[in-house]
Amino acid sequence: MTTSTDRGMWGSRFAFVLAAAGSAVGLGNIWGFPTQVGRGGGAAFVIVYLFCIVMICAPILVAEIVLGRRSRQSPVGAFKFLSPGTRWWWVGAVGVVTSVGIVAFYSVIGGWTIAYVWFAASGALGGGGEAAGDFFTRFTANGWQNVLCTFIFLGMAAAANAGGVRAGIERVTTALMPALLALLVLLAVRSLTLPGAAEGLAYYMRPDFSQAFNMTIVGAALGQAFFSLSLGNGAMLTYGSYLRRSDGIGRSVLMVVALDTSIALLAGLIIFPAGFSIVGFDPASSGPGLIFAVLPQLFATLAGGTLFGGAFFILLVMAALTSAISLLEVPVAHVVDRWGWSRPKAVGLVAGSAFLLSIPCALGNGAVESLSNLAPAAWGGNFLGVVATICNNFSLPITGMLMCIFVGYVWRVDRAVEELLADNAWFPNPKLWGLLVRYVSPLAIASILLGSIMAVL
């Protein structure tokens, strides 16, 4: 096993914030969030999502980082270290496996964004409109192109991870976040000024509360919140394990949550007004192709649309890569920490396994019929959807809930708070945090999971 001094540390608290933000901000915000809002019927989903972020996920993010910083280990080792001789390490192990599942489907969507850099910049998307939806359907039905794009995306993430990316992530994310935010604001302004935008805005901001109690939708909102903040699988725990004790956690968490949430909300502000200005647009039936059908239409209304389109997808690829690197980091750190493998060898094993699982994910979007219609819509429909549903809507919240129980009752809140406040660090309200972790988050997760399981059975 490597000792903590071999594992390396972030150079500063800011470096940690950049890496954590790089992990959180990705396809989950720009592709996942609008897709889920569309499936979930609009504004009611947004409200439930925000509730989950604030009351459930932000406190768990703190817990994960504390577990990592205190133990200086990747997830399995962290539980073994803090609670020796017990079976709590299983929580970490589930996180390791879940990460491989997420990387697998994530890389397929990452592959789509790579292809769209080319499509957008070369003008292949044309004028958008209904044709853009058809274009996406045709593209995802092409098996070998999809497997190839998946391979390229996963290969890039693996290479970056193997190369010991800390400095790289920092540099990429420092430039990426302001550029991404600026472009998103610009696109939102354009979208909001299109004819018919008001209808989309109402859909996005005026909740239909009958939907807020549909448990399938509430379960999806919880899963999306976990996925977007990179929670439950131990990514933030692993990143926290490289954090110095003198670097406070409170401010970092606030910054990461604020940035992640504003980027998701901005993405919705772009997609729905623009979407509703397209004749015959139906957010619910667009599924994973939603942003790929709407954005080309929006780019077509901009002078220099190919340029904006190309730039947008390049930024999205980069945001997705910094997330995929953090996903790989969980199983890779596990193999390095526990088995003593070298990093490149560990990356090879992890990325190789993820690629095998990503092949059916890539082929299940029209290329191979049996993989494309595998399950009822509530379970994700196709192979990619089923993997995503199991990982995001079940695995992440369950491990998140177990982490709360661990911190709240096994390792205990006072130890966690002591770690949080080490070196006179600033933290808003440790008492409230303890209450959220002990009672509110685990109970809320348990009831949402139960409700959503009963709703699909």
Residue 204 beta carbon to ligand PHE: minimum distance, rounded to whole angstroms: 19
Structure tokens at 290: 């939603």
Please provide the DSSP assignment of 55-71 as one string: IIIHHHHHHHHHHHHHH
From 206-214, 280-288, 320-328, 419-427, span contacting ligand PHE (CB under 6 A): 320-328
CB 382, CB 365: distance < 8 Å: yes
Q: Does 261 bind ligand PHE (CB under 6 A)?
A: no
Query: How many residues comprise the chain?
Result: 457
Q: Does 323 bind ligand PHE (CB under 6 A)?
A: yes
Residue 430 beta carbon to ligand PHE: minimum distance, rounded to whole angstroms: 26
Question: Pick from 29, 73, 140, 173: which binds ligand PHE (CB under 6 A)?
Answer: 29
Structure tokens at 127: 């004028």
Residue 85 beta carbon to ligand PHE: minimum distance, rounded to whole angstroms: 29
Q: Does 34 bind ligand PHE (CB under 6 A)?
A: no
CB 446, CB 96: distance < 8 Å: no
Q: Which residue lies nearer to ligand PHE by CB, 214 or 326? A: 326
CB 321, CB 313: distance < 8 Å: no
Question: Pick from 53, 82, 102, 384: which binds ligand PHE (CB under 6 A)?
Answer: 102
Question: Pick from 15, 24, 100, 407: which binds ligand PHE (CB under 6 A)?
Answer: 24
Distance CA 260, CA 244 (A): 23
From 19-27, 81-89, 270-278, 355-363, span contacting ligand PHE (CB under 6 A): 19-27
Distance CA 442, CA 419 (A): 21
Distance CA 96, CA 76 (A): 8
> Please, which residues have CB within 8 angstroms of residue 328's CB and are 6 or more apart in sequence?
99, 103, 157, 158, 161, 347, 350, 351, 354
Residue 54 beta carbon to ligand PHE: minimum distance, rounded to whole angstroms: 17
Residue 229 beta carbon to ligand PHE: minimum distance, rounded to whole angstroms: 6
Which residue, judged by CB position, is nearest to ligand PHE in the bound state?
Answer: 28
Q: Which residue lies nearer to ligand PHE by CB, 214 or 323? A: 323
Question: Pick from 27, 158, 362, 437: which binds ligand PHE (CB under 6 A)?
Answer: 27
Binding mask 221-250 for ligand PHE (x = CB under 6 A): ------xx-x--x-x---------------
CB 39, CB 287: distance < 8 Å: yes
198 DSSP 8-state letter: H
Q: Which residue lies nearer to ligand PHE by CB, 328 or 436? A: 328
Question: Pick from 17, 20, 26, 100: which binds ligand PHE (CB under 6 A)?
Answer: 26
Residue 157 beta carbon to ligand PHE: minimum distance, rounded to whole angstroms: 11
Distance CA 194, CA 352 (A): 45
Q: Does 63 bind ligand PHE (CB under 6 A)?
A: no
With the C-alpha atoms ordered 410, 66, 30, 288, is the resulting torsion angle positive or negative?
A: negative
> Please, which residues have CB within 8 angstroms of residue 5's CB and are 6 or more apart in sequence?
none
Maximum Cα–Cα distance for the chain, whole Å? 64
Q: Which residue lies nearer to ligand PHE by CB, 20 or 371? A: 20
From 24-32, 186-194, 211-219, 248-256, span contacting ligand PHE (CB under 6 A): 24-32
CB 401, CB 445: distance < 8 Å: yes
Residues engaged in binding ligand PHE (CB under 6 A): 23-24, 26-29, 102, 227-228, 230, 233, 235, 323, 326-327
